[in-house]
Homo-oligomer: A and B are copies of this chain.
Amino acid sequence: MITLYDNKSTLPLSHPYCGYSPYVWRIRFALRFKGLAYRTHWLEYPDVETIAKSIGAPPTGKRPNGTVRYTIPIIHDSVTNKVISGSFDIIEYLDATYPDTVQLIPKETRLLQKVFEEAEPGLIIRHLIPVVGSRLHKSPLITPRNQEFMNSEAGRASYPPPVVYSEEQEKEAWEKFKNSALGDMAKQMLDSEEAPFVMGKKVSMADAVLFGRFACLRLLWDESTKEWKEMMSWHGGRWGRLFEAYESLPQVEKYDG
């Protein structure tokens, strides 16, 4: 069985939206499309490095001061006894280890998928910061220990305190997020009624990247809100269809007890 390491929110651990890392959501997306069962090992920011080292997960980058940085997602696969970190590497590992499951990084599009993943901050996050930045930091969904970490010196290096935007700036940013970030992307894609994914009828890593970002937003604007319903209806309902494609597949997460 696969164990997925994820950062918990204040939601019950059995709540299907408990995690809020967009990067871990990529892996949930991949595991569901692949039909691979997994359990979640919940942790909080201050635990990431300790746990990563204890299970032998490699670091995924460097901090500005040059020291190595450990991040989630991390998976441990008990079948192969392998530990992998980094969403691109994990999905590539799953493709290779379970070749009969849907392949999310077809070798012919590997460089394109990688560049898409790396371009995401410029394509989406940049537009989202004014909309969600301050909302996320003060959200009651963040556990007290994570709040404390995000406000500590170590935490601020990775999670700088948000700029506070006026209501008008937030509104403007929301329109830009809709029209520039997502709208420009939607224009490059096939009609979602026939072809809901970035690569048309073929699901791939790029969808995991987009889904991850949306799934994180769903925690901030739960499904009952006007904002979420709006988002899911934008661009001919294509983002809603991405969620439908995911939700229509059998649940593969296993819960203890």
Contacts and interface: CB of A to CB of B under 8 A. Distances in A.
Interface size class on chain A is 20 to 34
A112 B110 contact: no
Interface string A188-212: 1110000100111110001000000
B109 A109 contact: yes
Tell me the dominant secondary structure on chain A's binding face.
helix
Interface string A133-169: 0000000000000000000000000000000000000
Contacts of A123: 115
User: Copy number in this complex?
Assistant: 2
Contacts of A110: 188-190
7 tightest A-B contacts by CB? A111-B188, A112-B112, A108-B200, A108-B199, A110-B188, A114-B188, A119-B119
A194 to B, nearest CB: 11
20 contacts: A107-B200, A108-B190, A108-B200, A108-B202, A109-B109, A109-B199, A110-B188, A110-B189, A111-B116, A111-B189, A111-B198, A111-B206, A112-B115, A112-B199, A114-B188, A115-B116, A115-B119, A115-B123, A118-B119, A119-B119
